[in-house]
Amino acid sequence: MKCYNLLIISNDIYDSGDILYLFEDLKNKLLSYLTTEQVDRIAQAFVTARNAHEGQTRSSGEPYITHPVAVATILADMHMDTETIMAALLHDVVEDTPINQEQLEQLFGPTITNLVNGVTKLDKLQFRDHKEAQAENFRKMIMAMTSDIRVILIKLADRTHNMRTIDALRPDKRRRIARETLEIFAPIANRLGIYSVKKELQDLGFKAMYPMRYRVLKEAVKKARNNRNEIINSILEDIKGRLSETDIKSRVLGREKQLYSIYLKMVHKECQFHEIMDVYGFRVIVENVDNCYRVLGHMHNLFKPRPGAFKDYIAIPKINGYQSLHTSLIGPHGVPIEIQIRTEYMDQMADQGVAAHWYYKEKGSESVNSTAQIHAQRWLKNLLELQQSAGNSFEFIESVKSDLFPEEIYVFTPEGKIFELPIGATPVDFAYAIHSDIGQRCIGARVDHHPFPLNRPLASGQSVEILTSPLAKPNAMWLNSVVTSKARSKIRQYLKSLRIEECQLLGKRLLKNAIGNIRIEDLPAEHIRHVLSEFGKKNLDELYTDIALGNIYTVIAANKLLNRENMDTPIGTVPHATITPSAINGTGGLSYVYANCCHPIPGDPIIAHINPGKGLVIHNQNCLNIKELSTKSAKFLNVSWDLSNACNCVFDAALRIEIKNHQGILGEISNAVSVAGANIEGISSEEREGQIYMINLIVTVRDRIHLADIIRKIKAIPNVIKVARKKA
Ligand code: MN
């Protein structure tokens, strides 16, 4: 048994000889943007990883530690933070060496351990299905189950280095990894806007997948480029010459075409090779947005623009945040020219996407907080479609992730097949998603090999096994927890198929169960009649039937009968176990959501609308939608705020803001919200007339006092005409 040096004394770090050649380059890179103390912490991670991987080698024969160092170097080039670099150095330690999770946590703390675990978890996911449809699911799932987007960045760097060294592997393994890279990882890099990584993964994947085509195409491109050098240089001189006559500071570059994108164009669009190569690409990088448009004007004046070919991705960014102006022109002797015009910042974003966030956080002389805020404002403008904003790094990560795939979870069958379900889905939903018969015969579930309640929501990444019995029947109680329409309608269908007497018996049993020791027959007849009329039922049998069919909640019927309007504690069986303390009193344990029309917050008068099969929807009592609904009291439940629990929650509030359009005003509003200690959850705008716009903003607040403060701060902004809470 080997003894591993786990406890590191800082003097020890620079002692070993091999550090000099393995760590030195990385260290110099890190020192260009991190402090000496931060680099020292990273050095400790390096020593731990090196000791742990001692004696292991890569397929190429090199010491194993060269791999984590290479991965960390890729991330250092993106200026990623200390924790990411440390986790990159340690990323294979838990999986491949005797060091376990607890030891790692002891040495480096929970954040780095979580990052390493995240990467390890992704490693275990095998690309099981070669169908394209599954590939898209798989990409989404990887994103959804990763709680910290830095895990994906480490994984992308890991894959990049593995692709760079793929020649050392067996051909069959090479092809599998190459395909996975092209179908899964390159699109993830693209979705996150990290163009430099996407490009490298694609070219390496292409080379490993189709070595012959790669070689032929590469030769052809090289030859074509040599023949065209003269034209490229003369156009470059024309562009530079024109810009030097202005006061615009700029860099002008000739753009190389990516091999894989040439290949795809030839395959999909059936373009001829020379048609693709005969388009000359250039990029002009300037200092600010105004100059982008000025350069555009000069270019359109220098060469004749092709009508309809101009794209303004500055005003309307691509979904991954990409910004630039694109235009196509007709150059000297009729050669087609494409020019991209953008700022340095946009160029950085185009190259590094999400990762640029850390780059800009580390850079700059202002404090991290204010750069992060400037960044937040830029994102708000850039990614309006994604409806996101960011206050600090953590929120940024969270908002990117939840914006990508907000409402879905991904779970596995024991065989590894992926199912996409809405958030909140239970094992019963999952059972019906596999097959209606499985749903109908379902009696229990095991999640990640442990017993799991049928009414508890599943989480992404879990593997779910459904236990069935040929004699089992759907349970009416499931209607309280399922969220998919398939499960709901199949359960109802079954309940309707029951004979009427069976329904009455089932309903009676459910109701008895809910009211406990009291016998219905003992309740005053007058009271029973009153309750029946509230529900619009002629007799108890009708009530039983509706309970069995899931049209009336058992708990609510029971509480009406027992005269318990305000249900502080759930009685009888609890249909929906709530784990977090509830901010609402009187729900009787039923699950509830806040209405999207009036967005009630603590302090507002509220009422619960009972939506059979869906649960309770908490509305503001003054909500117009409530007024429109029938005034039948059986459809409503009196509820109140539990202020002691509510103070630990945040709520969404909707604001309508009337503004006079003016550059930067969105930034100022986002700033005001963040100064007030709140986040923007959603934003949309509509044009009123002329320069007047209406902005709908969803902000997170603690209570009415907090909201009042936010409103006051927004009102103080010049050009804001009116701020009001949206009522419905
Ligand atoms: Mn690795």
**DSSP string for residues in 341-377:** EEEHHHHHHHHHGGGHHHHHHHSSSS-HHHHHHHHHH
My answer on whether 91 and 145 are in the same domain is yes
> What's 60's DSSP letter?
T
Neighbours of 667 (CB within 10 A): 16
My answer on whether 704 and 657 are in the same domain is yes
Sequence-distant (6+) residues with CB within 8 A of 344 are 285, 286, 287
Q: Are 726 and 655 in contact (CB under 8 A)?
A: yes
Known catalytic residues are 95-96
My answer on whether 233 and 356 are in the same domain is yes
Alpha-carbon span 591 to 603, nearest angstrom: 21
Alpha-carbon span 165 to 634, nearest angstrom: 68
Bridge-partner residues for 641, per DSSP? Answer: 584
Instruction: Specify the pLDDT at position 144.
Output: 56
Structure tokens at 467: 């236990």
My answer on whether 202 and 293 are in the same domain is no
My answer on whether 554 and 614 are in the same domain is no
Q: Are 389 and 680 in contact (CB under 8 A)?
A: yes
Q: Are 619 and 609 in contact (CB under 8 A)?
A: yes
Instruction: Specify the pLDDT at position 135.
Output: 57
Domain-located, residue 121: yes
Q: Which of 345, 362, 379 lies at the terminal end of a domain, its last residue?
A: 362
My answer on whether 305 and 339 are in the same domain is yes
Instruction: Specify the pLDDT at position 613.
Output: 54
Alpha-carbon span 636 to 17, nearest angstrom: 75
My answer on whether 451 and 530 are in the same domain is no
My answer on whether 227 and 94 are in the same domain is no
Domain-located, residue 401: no
Question: Quick one: how far is CA 507 from the chain centroid?
Answer: 42
- Burial class of residue 188 in the structure, from the number of CB atoms within 10 Å of its CB (0-12 exposed, 13-18 middle, 19+ buried): buried
Three-class SS string for 18-42?
HHHHHHHHHHHHHHCCCCHHHHHHH
The beta-strand segments (E) located in 4-96 are none
Nearest alpha-carbon partner for 637 in 718, 530, 552, 698: 552
For residue 598, the enclosing domain spans 584-646
Compute, in angstroms, the gap from residue 162 CA to the centroid of ligand 1: 7
Instruction: Specify the pLDDT at position 159.
Output: 94
Compute, in angstroms, the gap from residue 91 CA to the centroid of ligand 1: 6
Q: Are 483 and 432 in contact (CB under 8 A)?
A: no
Compute, in angstroms, the gap from residue 272 CA to the centroid of ligand 1: 39
Alpha-carbon span 104 to 113, nearest angstrom: 6
Compute, in angstroms, the gap from residue 92 CA to the centroid of ligand 1: 6
Query: Which H or E run contains 585?
Result: strand 584-585
Q: Which residues does the chain have with pLDDT short of 50?
A: 1-16, 132-133, 362-405, 566-580
Beta-sheet pairing, 280-286 with 336-343: parallel
Q: Structurally, how many domains does the chain consist of?
A: 6
My answer on whether 421 and 479 are in the same domain is yes
Domain-located, residue 679: yes
The type of residue at 172 is D
Compute, in angstroms, the gap from residue 341 CA to the centroid of ligand 1: 37
Nearest alpha-carbon partner for 456 in 421, 485, 491, 427: 427
The residue whose two tokens read 């018969």 is: 437
**What's the N-to-C CA distance of the chain in angstroms?**
69
Compute, in angstroms, the gap from residue 60 CA to the centroid of ligand 1: 14
My answer on whether 614 and 594 are in the same domain is yes
Neighbours of 88 (CB within 10 A): 34
Domain-located, residue 368: no
Domain-located, residue 395: no
Q: Which of 334, 362, 390 lies at the terminal end of a domain, its last residue?
A: 362
Structure tokens at 549: 């069919």
Domain-located, residue 354: yes
Q: Are 206 and 218 in contact (CB under 8 A)?
A: no
Compute, in angstroms, the gap from residue 20 CA to the centroid of ligand 1: 22
My answer on whether 611 and 679 are in the same domain is no
Q: Which of 614, 629, 646 lies at the terminal end of a domain, its last residue?
A: 646
Instruction: Specify the pLDDT at position 48.
Output: 92
Domain-located, residue 446: yes
Question: Quick one: how far is CA 13 from the chain centroid?
Answer: 38
Alpha-carbon span 723 to 715, nearest angstrom: 6
My answer on whether 510 and 490 are in the same domain is no
Secondary structure class of 339 (helix, strand, coil): strand
Alpha-carbon span 154 to 149, nearest angstrom: 9
